[in-house]
Amino acid sequence: MRFIFDRDTWQEIFGSIRKNKVRTIITIIGVLWGIFVYIALSGATKGLDNGFEREFQGIANNSMFVWTQRTSMPYAGFKIGRAVQLKLSDAEELRNKLPDIQFIAPRNVMGIFGGSPPQVSRGMKTGTYAVFGDYPVIDKISKKKIYEGGRFLNERDMENERRVCVIGERVRNDLFDRDEDPVGSYVKLNNVYFQVVGVYKKSENVDFEGDNSLMLPYTTYRKIFNTGENVGWFAIAAYDEADVIALEKDVKRLLKRRHKVHPEDERAFGSFNLGEAFAKLFGFAKGLNFLSLFVGFATIIAGVIAIGNILLISVKERTRELGVRRALGATPAEVRGQILLESVFLTLVAGILGIILGAFVLAIINVITQGSSGFPYTNPTVPIPYIFSALFIMVVLGTLIGLIPAQRAVSIKPIDALREE
């Protein structure tokens, strides 16, 4: 250990490194490139990862939607092709029977899945927009950002069947002047006036509402459009630790039983499982991550092997010098140690330079992609443990690869080394 901290040891090493500048530079470039690729790739992947996360923030990523279609099998006296209708009581039943459900929101909409969007007007201004009938709990499943001064639908709205609505950004822009505050004003829908209680921001997420919808309390919607207990579809969020795919199956099984649908009928109920979609997307990011790790490490290893090779050549070139050193009293351990340290030192310097360069490039990418919301790419960083493990692996590899030239340097007898031309 003393050997490593000895200033003279380092002088010997710097001496021999300085002696072969070109060799040293070429060597360093190999490893530097490897670690650079590793850092840049895994940082970029992390950026993509963060980007996906940003894209889907606000949506519970263990959520799903369930809706009805027509049956594809006859069952219990019913003919094939029967339309099934979800009811409010289904929500109750699902919640009671399936404890993995954290939130369930029955939803209705007019103007998206069939039916033309109703006209909404305010004074002379009119527009056609999708209208949703929602439970306040939908905000827990698919978060809406409400502009200052406004609010989302609440329980009181539900109980009193209040004629209130939350409107999308575009609806506000269409129906209100720039300097107007829509909160508190009224819009007319189906000859009924609704008071605007909030304006939601356009979301970068995927959702049904977009920025051109109105959201009414479920109870009010029911009354206005006379939909009774009918439900368009359910939005369901599972608890974090729940298995969403299993839950999706359970939900459908239960609904089939309640609606007398053949247990094997795959068409009667449709569903979309965000959890699964997420898993795929993040699986993709993970794959990228793995690829970058793999490519980075392969390049690093190639670089380290290049160091080993170049050291081997240099040891051959220096055979005579090493012979002289041994004639002057250098023990094999000292000769070996010097070459090993040279190898590790070169690897480390190259690695650190590569990390700095990689970080620099990531910073540039970050600046370029900032503000562009179209590309899912945010804050590309490489976790510190990655960097340290990369450095650690390089030290280990540098040592291992250095062993070859070190052994070669001492395997030759001093007398043969001195004879070498």
Partner 1 sequence: MIEIKDLHKSYRMGSNSLHVLKGLNLSIKEGELVAIMGSSGSGKSTFLNILGMLDEADSGQYVLDSVPIKDLNETKAAKYRNKFLGFIFQSFNLINYKTAIENVSLPLYYQKVNRKERQEKALQYLEKVGLKQWADHLPSELSGGQKQRVAIARALAAEPKVLLADELTGALDSKTSYEIMELIQEINDEGKTILVVTHEPDIANMCKRIVHLKDGVIVEDTFVEQVRASEYVQ
Binding mask 372-401 for partner 1 (x = CB under 8 A): ------------------------------
Q: Which residue bears the tokens 């209705």?
A: 108
Choose which of 4, 19, 85, 302 interacts with partner 1 (CB under 8 A): 19
Q: Considering only residues 131-150, where is the footprint of partner 1 by CB under 8 A?
A: none
CB of 410: closest distance to partner 1 in angstroms? 7
Choose which of 298, 333, 364, 396 interacts with partner 1 (CB under 8 A): 333
Kind of pairing, strands 269-273 and 233-238? unpaired
Cα(348)–Cα(28) distance, rounded to whole angstroms? 9
Choose which of 8, 179, 240, 241 interacts with partner 1 (CB under 8 A): 8
Tell me which residue of 407, 402, 415, 277 sits closest to 27, measured CA to CA: 402
Cα(377)–Cα(48) distance, rounded to whole angstroms? 5
The one segment of 263-271, 284-292, 326-334, 346-354 that binds partner 1 by CB under 8 A: 326-334
Q: Which residue bears the tokens 């004003």?
A: 185
Choose which of 324, 348, 403, 404 interacts with partner 1 (CB under 8 A): 324
Choose which of 274, 325, 342, 387 interacts with partner 1 (CB under 8 A): 325
407 contacts partner 1 (rule: CB under 8 A): no
The one segment of 90-98, 130-138, 340-348, 411-419 that binds partner 1 by CB under 8 A: 411-419
- For the chain, the residue count is 421
State the alpha helices, DSSP H only, in 176-273.
Answer: 218-225, 244-258
Cα(81)–Cα(294) distance, rounded to whole angstroms? 52
Nearer to partner 1, 32 or 409 (CB): 409
Tell me which residue of 146, 178, 177, 179 sits closest to 164, measured CA to CA: 146
CB of 363: closest distance to partner 1 in angstroms? 39
CB of 23: closest distance to partner 1 in angstroms? 13
Kind of pairing, strands 186-189 and 192-200? antiparallel
Collapsing DSSP states into helix, strand and coil, what is residue 335? Answer: helix
179 contacts partner 1 (rule: CB under 8 A): no
Q: Cite the beta strand spans of 28-118 per DSSP E.
A: 63-68, 86-87, 101-110
Choose which of 1, 5, 15, 22 interacts with partner 1 (CB under 8 A): 15
List interacting residues with partner 1 (CB under 8 A): 7-8, 12, 15-16, 18-19, 320-321, 324-334, 410, 413-415, 418
